[in-house]
Amino acid sequence: MAAPKKGRGAAGGQSRPGRALAFILIAMVALTGGMFWSGHTTPRLGIDLAGGTSITLKAKAEPGQESAVNETNMNTAVGIIERRVNGLGVSEAEVQTQGRENIMVNIPRGTNEKQAREQVGTTAQLYFRPVLTVADGAPPAAPSATPSGSASGTPSAKPSSSASGASVGEKSATPTATATTQGRAVSEALKAPSPTPTASSSTSAKPQATGTPQATPSADAATVALQQKFATLNCLDPKQRAAAGQGVKPTEPTVACGEDNPGVWAKYLLGPAEVEGKDVDDAKGQFDQQRGMWIVTMDFTDEGSKKFQSITGKLSQQADPQNRFAIVLDGQVVSAPSVRQTLSASAEISGNFNQESAQDLGNILSYGALPLTFETQSVDTVTAALGGDQLEAGLIAGAIGLALVIIYLVAYYRGLSLVAILSLGVSAVLTYVIMALLGPAIGFALNLPAVCGAIVAIGITADSFIVYFERIRDELREGRTLRPAVERAWPRARRTIMVSDFVSFLAAAVLFIVTVGKVQGFAFTLGLTTLLDIVVVFLFTKPIMTMLAKTKFFGNGHPWSGLDPKRLGAKPPLRRTRRATAPAAADPKEA
Amino acid sequence: MSKLGDLGARLHRGEVGYDFIGNRKIWYGLSILITITAIVALAVRGLNMGIEFQGGAVFTTPKSEVSVSQAQEYAEEASGHDAIVQQLGNGSLRIQVGGLDTAQSDQVREELAKDLNVPEDKIAAELVGPSWGEQIATKAWTGLGIFMILVVIYLAIAFEWRMAVAALIALIHDLTITVGIYSLVGFEVTVGTVIGLLTILGYSLYDTVVVFDSLKEQTKDITKQTRFTYSELANRSINGTLVRSINTTVVALLPVAGLLFIGGGVLGAGMLNDISLSLFVGLAAGAYSSIFIATPLVADLKEREPSIKALKKRIMVKRAAAAAKGEPLDAADDLPGEAAVVGPRASRHGAQEHRG
């Protein structure tokens, strides 16, 4: 917005009012056409009007790690949360940062809101789990193992049934080197003193079956369930993929999917987590000059080094696939490199990386290492009925407000109010069309505060006309005829309008930048309508006044025009132009 | 309405003039009184903070058979906290439970659905953690601070620092009064209230800026004449823009009144109502302060300036001489090119009052 002191004089809009009117008409037609062409003929409604759930999360900085809450981490978090929420089968869910430390998640209605909340609120979980089995992403055609498992009723039968489950899972993996190796790997992986799912380790299974009858069946059942889950898991199905590794404690084995190459999915049976994301100090994707390939390097914390040393020590002695450890982020295998030697403080992951995938993995590893946890600030679930009611109430309120303003303007300004009403109309059309277009363009969603902002803006817009009209009437009172009055009033009214609109816009802009959530939606609408007010006053109200001043009805000051010099108490016509700045009348006196 | 038009004409001709500046001490006193009341109320009674600031949940149920007191019982049983239940215009219930965290509230919602015999997904829930409101409030304060600094800089450039200071004082005055009224009446402070308060920022200044703009114009060549003191011209600016101020305020208040009426009438409590209530109070305070506080303050500040002081002295001497000679004051018109204006005689006491 320009400085108010621009003294360009009145001549600007005087000569060609038609040009400005044509311009704004073309703009309106173009925008409206664009709206219909794009197919978004209504503004996108926010959760509070359309129904749905809106969750606000705040990043919590751990003591000493305050700098962790930065833009990069926030964006990574947005990406991860988006993946989680959309994994629930909601394609329209939107996740965006708000301010410096907030993330807002909007989930349209029709989703499992509870599940969404659970998914969203938790920190990104990054774990390193040993790989027990790998298989193709799709489930086998005939999962023959499962019926036998469920058929056997006695606890002692279970180890054998789960063993067969495991063998199904190993379908594509390399056959086990020796029975003992496999037994060791799996028993280590499962950690809990439960029977190992291998037939060869029957010695270890027996005592437990007899020992604690209450605990063992459940442990067995869990193992069986896991085997079964692994057998039936279909990684080609996005829903199953997302659900696979969810809600599993790090201390328990799990199944998970991973994308080995773009579009190629594999499923994994994984042991309990050995190293956690917080054990990673730093990670980044780098280009290895010597080998000419992209790798990901990781540095561990002290504790992480110890853990990593121990796990790699064990894994390096295994055969494939049990020498691999899976990097699992939010239940999905990001990468599953094999371990060739014992590693400690730092490690590198090499594989089929390109620059992007290496850097991505680096980010993910670093992110998991950062103490960026989120706290749920607010959860707003609005039913469709309530949202509809509120939208309706907002529209009725807006209509009533508009009607009241129009009644007042008509009563006070008579014919002149026509200009105000037309201008308000132009303003309303522009606001609506721009809001509708901003939906697909920048994700603008009309929420309740935004509706309020638009209603309040009726007053702001009308204020500008009042400033101009009163100026014109002042000029008429000086004894001028309408045409010069319209032109003389304009530069001064223009300055006043610019200054006061600038203040309004400043308030809106500051609020939009500083605040979050609902306040932001309100500020956006207010700022938008203030800008449109200027556009409308300059390109519509002023030119149309210039044109109307030429008409008989207004120009001659018809009693109903609102510009009747007699009514306004005009003085007799002036002989010459008087100074603009001179005080016009006598001293004020007390009434 | 046309009476207001007549008033406009008479104000313009100077036939009617209200001595806003002369009586400024009354307005200052009134404002100080209101401000003190507001501060005392705030200190003693505090504000009725909504659940957004305490943490808790608001459930909105569809229309049900259950009575308000029954619903309250259910809600308190389910949550173990105090509950406030309101019946809304469309027969639905608004159940507010404080002190819940976002995890607990899920359970309460489930139980409520069972108790009230409505499907769970028909119950809207707003669950708020205790620090959410605080975060919004902190950001709002930050925004307020930044806005005030920027607007003072802007007004100081566009006008002058005295006007910027006066506008700022008027703005703080408006906010204090609004908050004070909230404290006195016990209206609930919600995020909607904060939004409303922040809107007053821009709006309260709108009227003030309109008056200042006129004042700046009127006093452009003030030292080149010896007819009017600064205060008198300031008063004239207020009077000249009075109709404009009344109109803009009325027009601004009308949609807000629509919001208030609909927000309260149809939906009971809620965001619409909260925003419009604080806007309503704030806009009214803003209109008052632009006329009675901001402009008189500018006049007071301005009258301390040496050149303005000297001007006033010259005018007083001149007026005294004229009075001694018994000459009519208007003959002393020394504004070149000024068409002779025959208006009522100036009452002198208004001018003399400014001496202090």
Backbone angles phi, psi at A319, to 5 degrees: -95, 165
Please, are residues B47 and B187 in contact by the beta-carbon 8 Å criterion?
no
SS3 content of chain A, % helix, strand, coil (to 5): 55, 15, 30
* Closest-approach residue (CA) in chain B for A110: B121
Cβ–Cβ of B272/A397 closer than 8 Å? yes
Instruction: Tell me whether residues B350 and A583 touch, CB distance under 8 A.
Output: no
CA distance B262 to chain A (A): 6
Chain A closest CA to B35's CA: distance in Å? 24
What residues 304-343 of chain A have any CB closer than 8 A to a CB of chain B? none
- The reply to whether A428 touches chain B by the CB within 8 Å rule is no
What's at A191, amino acid-wise? K
In this predicted structure, the answer to whether residue B259 has a pLDDT above a threshold of 90 is: no
For B17-45, what is the mean pLDDT? 88
Q: Please answer whether residues B308 and B302 qualify as being in contact, where contact means their C-beta atoms are separated by less than 8 angstroms.
A: yes
Question: Which residue out of A111, A373, A466 would a mutagenesis test of the B interface target, given it has the greatest number of B Cβ atoms within 10 Å?
Answer: A466
Q: Which among A499, A512, A520, A571 is the top mutation candidate for probing chain B, defined by the most B β-carbons within 10 Å of its own β-carbon?
A: A499
Q: Which of residues 72-101 of A touch B (CB under 8 A)?
A: 99
Q: Are B102 and A379 inside 8 Å of each other by CB?
A: yes
The string over A43-70, giving b where at least 16 C-beta atoms fall within 10 Å of a residue's C-beta and e elsewhere, is: bbbbbbbbbbbbbbbbbbbeeeeeebbe
Q: How far does the CA of residue B83 sit from the closest CA of chain A (Å)?
A: 18
Q: Enter the tokens of residue A417.
A: 């109010």
Q: Do B271 and A499 touch (CB under 8 A)?
A: no
Backbone angles phi, psi at A63, to 5 degrees: -55, 135
pLDDT of residue B29: 92
Closest CA to B137 of A375, A517, A525, A505: A517
**Is B332 exposed, middle or buried, given 0-12, 13-18 or 19+ CB atoms closer than 10 A?**
middle
Which chain A residues are within 8 Å of B253, Cβ to Cβ?
A: 459
The Cα–Cα gap between A561 and A583 comes to 28
Residue B221 has pLDDT above 90, yes or no: no
CA distance B34 to chain A (A): 25
Can you say whether the dihedral through the CA atoms of A117, A54, B279, B262 is positive or negative?
negative
Which residues does residue B189 pair with via DSSP β-bridges, in sequence order? B49
Give the pLDDT confidence of A374-396 residue by residue, as tens digits.
777 888 888 887 788 888 888 88
- Among A467, A516, A585, whose Cβ lies nearest the Cβ of B210? A467
Angle between helices B191-218 and A517-536 (to 10 degrees): 30
**Of the candidates B137, B134, B136, B255, which has an alpha carbon nearest to the alpha carbon of residue B203?**
B255
Predicted pLDDT at B136: 79
Instruction: Check if the beta carbon of residue A346 is closer than 8 Å to that of residue A297.
Output: yes
Q: Give yes or no for residue B343 having a pLDDT over 80.
A: no
- Give the amino acid at A274: E
Size of interface A-B (CB pairs under 8 A): 343
Rounded Cα–Cα distance for residues A320 and A14 (Å): 84
Min distance B79 CA to chain A CA atoms (Å): 17
Distance of alpha carbon A26 from its chain centroid, rounded?
34
> Which of B126, B239, B250 comes nearest A588 by C-beta?
B239
Q: Is the pLDDT of residue B306 over 80?
A: yes
Report, as an integer, the average pLDDT of B108-120. Answer: 81
Hey, are the CB atoms on B350 and A4 less than 8 Å from each other? no
Tell which phi-psi region holds residue A51, choosing left (phi > 0), alpha (psi between -120 and 50) or beta: left
Asked if A295 and A349 count as a contact pair (C-beta separation under 8 A), the reply is yes
* Residues of A in Cβ contact (< 8 Å) with B121: 383
Q: Could you give the strand order of the β-sheet that contains A346-350, starting from the edge strand earlier in sequence?
A: A280-288, A293-300, A346-350
Q: ipTM, 2 decimals?
A: 0.80
Q: What is the dihedral of CA A502, A503, A507, A509, to 10 degrees?
A: 20
Whose CA is closest to B264, among B188, B329, B153, B158? Answer: B188
Task: Tell which of B4, B171, B199 to mutate to test the A interface (max A CBs under 10 Å).
Answer: B199
Answer whether A282's CB lies under 8 Å from A338's CB.
no
Using a CB-CB cut-off of 8 Å, the residues of chain A touching B336 are 579
How many whole angstroms from its chain centre is CA A288?
Answer: 36
Average pLDDT estimate for B200-219 = 82
Residue type, B131: S
Is B247 within 8 Å of A4 when comparing Cβ atoms? no
Q: Cα distance from A188 to chain B (closest Cα, Å)?
A: 36
Nearest CA in chain B to A411: B1
B124's torsion region: left (phi>0), alpha (psi -120 to 50) or beta? beta
The contacts of residue B224 (CB under 8 Å, 6+ apart) are: none
Q: Report which residue type is found at B21.
A: I
If one compares A217 and B292, the residue with the highest pLDDT of the two is: B292
Note whether B1 contacts A448, CB cutoff 8 Å. Answer: no
Find the residue in A nearest to B193 (Cα). A519
Q: What is the mean pLDDT of residues B187-206?
A: 81
B263 with A393: Cβ contact below 8 A: yes
CA A241 to chain B, closest CA, distance in angstroms equals 26
- Asked if B60's CB is within 8 angstroms of A510's CB, the reply is no
Contacts of A582 in chain B (CB under 8 A): 335, 337-338
From chain B, pick out residues whose CB is under 8 angstroms from the CB of A526: 199, 202
Read off the pLDDT of each residue in B124-142 and give the average, rounded to a whole number: 81
What is the SS3 assignment for A127? Answer: strand
In terms of CA atoms, which chain B residue is nearest residue A473? B9
pLDDT confidence of residue B67: 81
Instruction: Show the tokens assigned to B134.
Output: 């605080």
Decide if A504 and B132 are in contact by the 8 Å CB cutoff. no
Q: Which residue of B has its CA nearest to A565?
A: B9
Give burial (CB, 10 Å; 0-12/13-18/19+) of A569. Answer: middle
Q: What is the pLDDT of residues B50-82, one digit of tens each?
A: 877 878 888 888 877 778 888 888 888 887 778
Chain B partners within 8 Å of A502 (Cβ): 154
Nearest residue of B to residue A102, measured between CA atoms: B135
Contact in structure between B60 and A386 (CB atoms under 8 Å): yes
- Which residues 234-273 in chain A show a CB within 8 A of chain B? none
Tell me the chain B residues in contact with residue A456 when contact means C-beta distances shorter than 8 Å. Answer: 199, 203, 252, 255-256, 259, 279
Mean pLDDT along residues B337-352: 40
Q: Choose, out of A102, A118, A381, the residue to mutate when testing the contact with B (most B CBs < 10 Å).
A: A381
Low-confidence ranges of chain A (pLDDT < 50): 1-14, 142-217, 369-371, 575-591
Burial B164-196 (b: 16+ CB within 10 A, else e): bbbbbebbebbbbbbbbbbbeeebbbbbbbbbb
Inter-CA distances, B205 with A223, B89, B214, Å: 70, 35, 14
CA A514 to mean position of chain CA atoms: 17
Q: Provide the pLDDT for residue B341.
A: 38
Q: Is the CB of A438 inside 8 Å of chain B's CB atoms?
A: no
Helices B230-240 and B295-302 meet at what angle, rounded to 10?
A: 160
CB contact under 8 A, B236 and A474: no
Element (H, E) at A52: strand A52-60
List C-alpha distances in Å: B122 to A112, A386, B87, B92: 13, 9, 16, 11
Residues 6+ apart with CB under 8 A from B154: A502, A503, A506, B164
List, as one string, the DSSP characters of B123-175. SEEEEE-HHHHHHHHHHHHHHHHHHHHHHHHHHHHHS-HHHHHHHHHHHHHHH
Strand order from edge to edge, sheet including B56-61: A94-98, A102-108, A52-60, A373-382, B124-128, B56-61, B93-98, B83-87
Structure tokens at A146: 């499962």
